[in-house]
């Protein structure tokens, strides 16, 4: 896949608990088919799944766009929803506004965003209260991460 760019888009419905994880599952399978290294796939899967859960749990609707370029897997999870009033607070481990329903599914421990940060090489959040949120993260495919970061 030298020099090639692959882009895919997956819709995610807010409140659709039954389908939660469908997008992350598809993303994982595609990376596997592309022969991407297992460690990378695991990190993309973890971060994509948490990002998808956040749209399901906190927003009305959204999309997850995945781009695979020769250097990195870049994922953008964009939603229409309430937005995040205080990003620093949302990033704190344990902070959560998730409903009881989400907690019963094993999520809503306030660890999603910290997990995404930990699993990825770069993460940014753009958000507007009352409009929506765009979370983007990147995982480098190359071993020399520091080199690429420069």
Partner 1 sequence: MITKDILKEVLAAEIVLDSEEEFEQSGKSTFSKVCGCDMMSDLLSLMNDHEHDNKAVLLLTGLNNPQVVRTCEMVDIKLVVFVRNKQPSDETVQLARECGVTLMCTPYTMYKCCGILYDLRMKDLNGEIKTN
Which stretches of the chain bind Mg ion, using CB under 5 A? 54, 112
Mask 76-115, x = binds partner 1 (CB under 8 A)? ----------------------------xxxx-x-xx-xx
Length of the chain: 150
Q: Determine if 49 is a binding residue for partner 1 (CB under 8 A).
A: yes
Q: How many CA within 13 A on the CB side of residue 46?
A: 18
Q: Site for ligand ADP (CB under 6 A): which residue of 24, 90, 119, 139?
A: 90
Q: Based on CB atoms, which residue is closest to ligand ADP, 35 or 106?
A: 106
Tell me how far apart the alpha carbons of residues 49 and 131 are, in angstroms, rounded to a whole number: 22
DSSP per residue, 104-146: HTT--SS-HHHHHHHHSSEEEEEEETTTEEEEEEEEESSS-HH
- Residue 63 engages ligand ADP in binding (rule: CB under 6 A): no
21 binds ligand ADP (CB under 6 A): no
Closer residue to partner 1, CB minimum distance, 46 or 80: 46
Contact between 135 and 76 under an 8 Å Cβ cutoff? The reply is yes
**Exposed e or buried b for every residue in 51-89, given b needs 16+ CB within 10 A?**
bbbbbbbbbebbebebebeeebbbbbbbbebbbbeeeee
Residues that bind ligand ADP (CB under 6 A): 54-55, 57-59, 79, 81-84, 90, 95-98, 107-114, 133
Residues that bind partner 1 (CB under 8 A): 17-18, 20-21, 24-25, 28, 39, 42-43, 45-46, 49-50, 104-107, 109, 111-112, 114-115, 118-119
């Amino acid at each position: 896949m030298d020099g090639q760019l692959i882009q895919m888009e997956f819709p995610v419905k807010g409140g659709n608990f039954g389908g939660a994880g469908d997008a992350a599952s598809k993303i994982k399978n595609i990376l596997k088919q592309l022969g991407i290294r297992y460690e990378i796939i695991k990190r993309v899967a973890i971060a994509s799944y948490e990002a998808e859960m956040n749209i399901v749990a906190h927003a009305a609707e959204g999309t997850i766009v995945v781009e695979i370029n020769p250097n990195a897997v870049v994922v953008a999870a964009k939603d229409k929803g309430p937005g995040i009033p205080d990003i620093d607070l949302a990033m704190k481990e344990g902070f959560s506004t998730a409903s009881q329903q989400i907690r019963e599914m094993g999520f809503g421990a306030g660890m999603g965003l910290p997990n995404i940060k930990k699993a990825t090489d770069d993460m940014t959040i753009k958000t507007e209260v009352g409009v929506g949120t765009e979370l983007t993260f990147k995982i480098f495919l190359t071993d020399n991460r520091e080199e690429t970061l420069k």
